[in-house]
Amino acid sequence: MINLALEVGKTAAPEATMFWILGPLAVIAALGMLLVKKAVHSAILMAWVMITLAIFYIAQGALFLGIVQVVVYTGAVMMLFLFILMLVGVDSADSLKETIKGLRPIAILAFIGFGGLLVSLIGRATLGHQIVGLDSANANGNVPALAELLFSKYVWAFEVVSALLITAALGAMVLAHNHRVHQRPTQRDLSILRFRTGSLAETAGLANPGVYALHNAVDVPALLPDGSAAPTSISAMLEARGDVIDSSPFQLGQAEESEGEDK
């Protein structure tokens, strides 16, 4: 604890102030990320944690890393956001019911063990040690120094990692790619189809839904001249869901009768 206080005392005053303001905020957001119910709120808090980390990096002289952290992780969290929307649903919320019995104590135990390991390791590596070499590493500027390391000493690792990432991206595309069996009909094909097949009744487009002047909602089929409902005038989706209203009450003769009843 004394060591920690000494460390904080040694850092520049503005940096320490910033740390004690942003640090707790980052921790609260990180905890909130685990505890909030809605998945989208989790994603937002995650973006916030990433941005605070980026500010810490910048304050510690790793300017390039900080900025790249924002660029990369905001994009990544955006992807997460899209995954939530597409896979889990717009209003998804976690249920807190334990599906497998006894999993929670194990998770908490693992969390404490792993957390303790991390804290002790990082603490041993940093507390009580003088930070050296930052100025000499950044002597020619942060970006050139980083570029020199990346493209000389670590060029092999760098290229291998990028090859790995590209392979992963390609693999995901191959797996998700759905090969089209038929060519998708173009507007021209559809137009030709309308004229060459069947009757010419629908060449000018399908009938609009609704009963003229009485009911024009999309869930009411139009009436044919003989008084029967036109099934093509409503969306097949609505029909499948059973959201269609019967249009016969709005038929002209019936409507007049019902109006008469009202009077």
Partner 1 sequence: MTTAQILGQDPGWIILVKGVFVFIIAVLATLMAIWAERRIVARMQMRIGPNRVGPQGLLQSLSDGVKLALKEDLIPAAADKIVFIIAPIISATTCFMSFAVIPMSGPVSLFGHKTAMQMTDLPVGVLYVLAIASVGVYGIILAGWSSGSTYPLLGGLRSSAQVISYEVAMGLSLVAVFIYAGSMSTSEIVAAQQKWWYSIVLFPSFVIYAISMVGETNRAPFDLAEAEGELVGGFHTEYSSLKFALFFLAEYVNIVAVSALATTLFLGGYHALPGLTFTESWLGGWFTIVWFFAKVIFFFFIFVWLRGTLPRLRYDQFMKFGWKVLIPASLFWILIVATMRVMSLRGTSRGGVLGFAVGIVLVVLIGSFAYDSAKKRSESAPEAEISEPSFPVPAIPTSNGPSAQSEVSRG
* Angstrom distances, CA of residue 145 to CA of 71, 88, 150, 169: 20, 43, 9, 29
* Interface region with partner 1, contact rule CB under 8 A, candidates 85-93, 205-213, 226-234, 238-246: 85-93
* Interface region with partner 1, contact rule CB under 8 A, candidates 73-81, 159-167, 201-209, 250-258: 73-81
**Residue 19 lies near partner 1 (rule: CB under 8 A):** no
**Residue 194 lies near partner 1 (rule: CB under 8 A):** no
Cα–Cα distance for residue pair 251/259, rounded to 1 Å: 12
| Mask for 195-214, x = binds partner 1 (CB under 8 A) | -x------------------
**Residue 141 lies near partner 1 (rule: CB under 8 A):** yes
- Among the listed residues 21, 27, 71, 224, the single contact to partner 1 using CB under 8 A: 71
Handedness of CA 78, 80, 83, 87 (dihedral sign): negative
**Residue 59 lies near partner 1 (rule: CB under 8 A):** no
**Residue 40 lies near partner 1 (rule: CB under 8 A):** yes
**Residue 75 lies near partner 1 (rule: CB under 8 A):** yes
* Interface region with partner 1, contact rule CB under 8 A, candidates 100-108, 135-143, 170-178, 244-252: 135-143
**Residue 238 lies near partner 1 (rule: CB under 8 A):** no
Residues forming contacts to partner 1 in the complex (CB under 8 A) are: 38, 40-41, 44, 47, 51, 63-64, 67-68, 70-71, 74-75, 78-79, 81-82, 85, 90-91, 141-143, 196
